[in-house]
A and B are shown apart, each in its own frame.
Chain A
Amino acid sequence: MVPECVNSGTHKDKTVRDLFVEAFTEMKASVDRGLDVKDIEALYVGTAMTEFFEWQGHTAPIMASWVGMVPNPATRIEDACATSGVAVREGVIAVASGIYDVVLVGGVERMTAASTEYVTEILAAGGDAFYEAAVGFTFPGLYAAIATAHMHKYGTKLEHFMKVATKNHNNGALNPKAQFNASIRDIMSMRTARAKEKGQPVPAWKDEMEFLNDPQSNPIVAWPMRLFDCSPITDGAACVLLVAEEIAKKFTDNPIYIIGTGQGSDHALHERADLTSFLSAKIAAQQAYEMAGVTPEDIQLAEVHDCFTIAEIIATEDLGFFKSGVGAKAVEEGLTARNGSKPVNTSGGLKAKGHPVPEMPNFIFATKTLVS
């Protein structure tokens, strides 16, 4: 596998094809021994909701056309927030099957041009339209409900969620490609400076927790999830080149090997026996660990899905890093910080880095970290 490229942020003037071509161009330039587009045999591209955002369906051949891959097979994957993760897995399966040796996988979405109310409505389509969205559930709302169940069962506190946000922003401050390339302290300083400039009352937050407890600076989105518990609305694209192990050295001196992968599925939230854990993530992790021949103890760095802060806490439990209900305490004790025993989302996570829904940035960052 050869990385990389991810661009997240606000790009209202660009379309999904612009963003994807940009990511592809950067990826191509990063292949140290060179890549001829003609060598790419197939494309698996994740776009979750382009029909809603720019009235563009059938995105795979469009992307193939714009990166010069026509007439090779191009397949679009849609699996909500797992979209691009599944695209990578489909690419891995295709190469492992022996059908292809060189495959491009990627993900792209452009969301910021739409109003928050419209984005909220569109994202709810990733849930169950007839049972969840129909009674007003939004995506932040579903994770918020999960958070109340976790709080009730394990005593998890709002402060634990705030610790996740603070950690991920601290990490995002070191990532130049992050949508929020700033720690919460940086954001506090910016807000204070802006208030002074405008001659408004200058807020006097003592620390991050005071800022995050202030309903003015951190308003509720879906209680108990506040603004800084939610990953932002983002425009972004990313892609990765997957090649067969035998020919990897033709492209780069430093290939990264994918040694395990897994995937699962689950019911609508209300049908799940346990509201505080994701069965699909547990199953996927078990499969990946087994294929790779490793255990959770062997993992030295994890990029997990933190669309909301509660999701990161639960992911660290489902992946077996911590026992059920202990993920919150682990954040509090700094175990998941960059210098902790189990660093999680050192990229800044989706929280700071941005969350174009197909969600590839965390995967890309992990591979880039491995390269460097």
Chain B
Amino acid sequence: MECQEIKGKGELAAFTVIVVVPAKMVAQGYGRDNPYCTGIVELEEGPKISALIIGADPRRGEVRVGMSLTVDFVDFIEMGEEKKTILAFRPA
């Protein structure tokens, strides 16, 4: 196995807006009144990856399958742990 650098650009292949959130995401401030979007991004290089989708409001129809995305990262503070960096994508 070897590591390969990727450009961090891709297209949204599938997504969801999570309203009933798991306990872990409640701790990040998400919930019924503040849902989040997560999806599967098909990278330019071919592979797909799961990631948070940020910077677009799904309630306004701003998130669509096929939209161009660019990589970003979000810091989560986990209870009793150091900050954790989560993979995210935003509109290109």
Residues of B within 8 A of A131 (CB): 49-50
How many B residues are at the interface, by size bracket? 20 to 34
Chain A contact residue count (CB 8 A cutoff)? 40
- Interface residues of chain B: helix, strand, loop or mixed (majority): strand
Residues of B within 8 A of A147 (CB): 16
From A116, A128, A137, A219, residue with most partner B Cβ within 10 Å: A137
Q: Could you tell me if A141 and B38 are in contact, using CB atoms closer than 8 angstroms?
A: yes
Q: How far is the CA of A146 from the CA of B16 in the complex (A)?
A: 9
Interface residues of B in 23-52 (CB under 8 A from A): 23-26, 30, 35-36, 38-40, 47-52
Select from chain B the residue with minimum beta-carbon distance to A131: B50
Q: How far is the CA of A128 from the CA of B87 in the complex (A)?
A: 14
Q: A131-B50, A135-B87, A270-B40 are in contact. Are A140 and B20 (CB under 8 A)?
A: yes
Compute the total of residue contacts between A and B using a CB distance below 8 Å: 108
Select from chain A the residue with minimum beta-carbon distance to B59: A223
Q: How far is the CA of A122 from the CA of B49 in the complex (A)?
A: 22
Asked if A309 lies at the interface with its beta carbon under 8 angstroms from chain B, I say: no
Q: Could you tell me if B65 and A149 are in contact, using CB atoms closer than 8 angstroms?
A: yes
Chain B residues at the A interface, C-beta cutoff of 8 Å: 13-26, 30, 35-36, 38-40, 47-52, 58, 65-66, 86-88
Chain A residues at the B interface, C-beta cutoff of 8 Å: 115-118, 120-121, 124, 128, 131-138, 140-142, 144-149, 151-152, 219-225, 268-272, 275
Q: A117-B21, A149-B13 are in contact. List 15 more A-B contacts (CB 8 A).
A: A120-B22, A121-B22, A133-B22, A135-B38, A135-B86, A136-B18, A136-B36, A136-B52, A137-B16, A145-B14, A145-B38, A147-B16, A222-B18, A223-B58, A269-B14
Q: Which 5 residue pairs across A and B have the least CB separation, nearest first?
A: A144-B16, A121-B22, A145-B14, A223-B17, A149-B14
